[in-house]
């Protein structure tokens, strides 16, 4: 019988999201593929420094320190196989039990997400993220300049989500952008009893909620909704989560206040938002990823 990843939380991640390869990437961006490969070959025995998503991956893999293997992390990278050797050696250096990987030498690796049944894809390449989202996989563009996660919660994975166009659809955001705040508030009040349609990251929240309910003794998951909504529009968001039978641990309805400082206090291992302005604010304090979905990310002609 063939092996399967069914029932696991599967996280696919690019090498630059997991490790700090920004110095090497400068060579690659100059268009000198061979010089980049040679540099990686020369540094095979030098472990790469942890990258923006390192803490998230390290903590999620800690859920496997039981007889039940609940998490699978797979590296999907545009690196060539030789450079990929350094990636895998770096993972082994940090004792990350990552055994599956794909290195495509410049080709888009997102097409392998479906066979993996991935619950999340993290990459620094916006085009790969857009393609993954279009294929129905929760995906975010990692900002390499983001602050790294705090080490204050070693036994707790903390993940923060924006609401509209992330956990929920962008239905309400479309109303806001076309009609302004008053139209948005009226729309949400009128439809308060109707659950919001699913957003691209609902499947990830469902998978995390399932792990929360498993009650692993040495590791926990803590989730937070961090949204620009305010009363009375907060009620529809909460009612939607109730309808999904999903509980989040915290909910912040900030009414347009800057999210960055609130996230600094929550100390997530990762924050997901659809608006680049919010990501730039958050990235000064916490690891952050851009969910390139919804009306805010639709080119306007």
- Could you read off the pLDDT of 94-142 as tens digits, one per residue? 999 999 999 999 899 999 999 999 999 999 999 999 999 999 999 999 9
Closest Cα partner for 201 from 296, 100, 297, 290?
A: 290
Q: Please, what is the average pLDDT of the chain?
A: 93
**Is the pLDDT confidence value at 93 over 70?**
yes
Q: Give the pLDDT band (50/70/90) at residue 77.
A: very high
Bridge pairing between strands 9-13 and 120-123: parallel
- Here the tokens at position 129 are 């993220």
pLDDT at residue number 85: 95
Average pLDDT over residues 249-259: 96
Where are any strands of DSSP class E within the chain? 9-13, 19-20, 49-50, 71-77, 100-103, 120-123, 139-142, 156-161, 220-227, 250-253, 270-273, 288-290
pLDDT for residue 136: 96
- Where exactly does CATH 3.40.50.1000 map onto the chain? 156-293
CATH number for region 156-293? 3.40.50.1000
Residue 50: both structure tokens together: 């942890």
pLDDT in tens, 142-160: 999 999 999 999 999 999 9
CA quadruple 68, 249, 287, 232: dihedral, nearest 10: 140
Q: What pLDDT is stored for residue 27 in this prediction?
A: 81
What class does CATH assign to 9-142?
A: alpha beta
Sign of CA dihedral 237, 240, 241, 242: positive
DSSP state, 246?
Answer: -
Question: What pLDDT score does 23 carry?
Answer: 86
Does residue 175 have a pLDDT over 80?
yes
Percent of the chain, pLDDT > 70? Answer: 98
User: What's the token pair of residue 117?
Assistant: 């049944």
* Catalytic residue set: 162
Strand 49-50 to 19-20 pairing? antiparallel
Q: For residue range 5-55, what is the model confidence (pLDDT) as tens digits?
A: 888 999 999 999 999 998 888 887 777 678 888 898 999 999 999 999 999
Please say if the pLDDT value at position 1 is more than 60: no
pLDDT at 42: 92
What is the mean pLDDT of the segment spanning 239-248? 96
What is residue 102's DSSP assignment? E
Q: How confident is the model at residue 300 (pLDDT cuts 50, 70, 90)?
A: low
Is pLDDT of 292 > 70? yes
The predicted model scores a pTM of 0.94
């Amino acid at each position: 019988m063939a092996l399967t990843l069914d029932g696991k939380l599967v996280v696919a991640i690019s090498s630059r999201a997991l490790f700090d390869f920004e110095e090497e990437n400068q060579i690659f961006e100059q268009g000198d593929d061979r010089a980049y490969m040679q540099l990686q070959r020369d540094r095979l025995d030098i472990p790469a420094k942890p990258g923006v998503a390192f803490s998230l991956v390290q903590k999620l893999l800690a859920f496997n320190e039981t007889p039940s293997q609940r998490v699978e992390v797979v590296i999907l990278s545009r690196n060539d196989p030789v450079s990929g050797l350094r990636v895998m050696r770096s993972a082994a250096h940090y004792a990350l039990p990552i055994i599956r990987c794909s290195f495509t030498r410049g080709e888009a690796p997102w097409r392998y997400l479906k066979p993996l049944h991935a619950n999340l894809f993290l990459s620094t390449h916006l085009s790969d993220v857009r393609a993954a989202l279009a294929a129905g996989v929760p995906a975010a563009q990692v900002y390499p300049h983001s602050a790294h996660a705090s080490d204050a919660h070693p036994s707790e994975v903390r993940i923060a989500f924006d609401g509209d166009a992330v956990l929920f659809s962008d239905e309400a955001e479309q109303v806001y952008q076309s009609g302004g705040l008053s139209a948005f508030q009226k729309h949400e009040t009128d439809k308060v009893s109707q659950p919001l349609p699913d957003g691209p990251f609902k499947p990830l929240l469902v998978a995390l909620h399932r792990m929360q309910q498993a009650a692993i003794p040495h590791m926990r998951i803590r989730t937070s909704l961090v949204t620009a909504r305010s009363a009375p529009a907060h009620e529809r968001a909460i009612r939607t989560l109730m309808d999904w039978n999903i509980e989040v641990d915290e909910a912040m309805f900030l009414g347009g206040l800057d999210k960055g400082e609130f996230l600094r206090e929550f100390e997530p291992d990762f924050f997901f938002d659809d608006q680049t302005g919010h990501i730039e604010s958050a990235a000064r304090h916490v690891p952050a990823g851009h969910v390139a979905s919804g009306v805010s990310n639709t080119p306007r002609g």
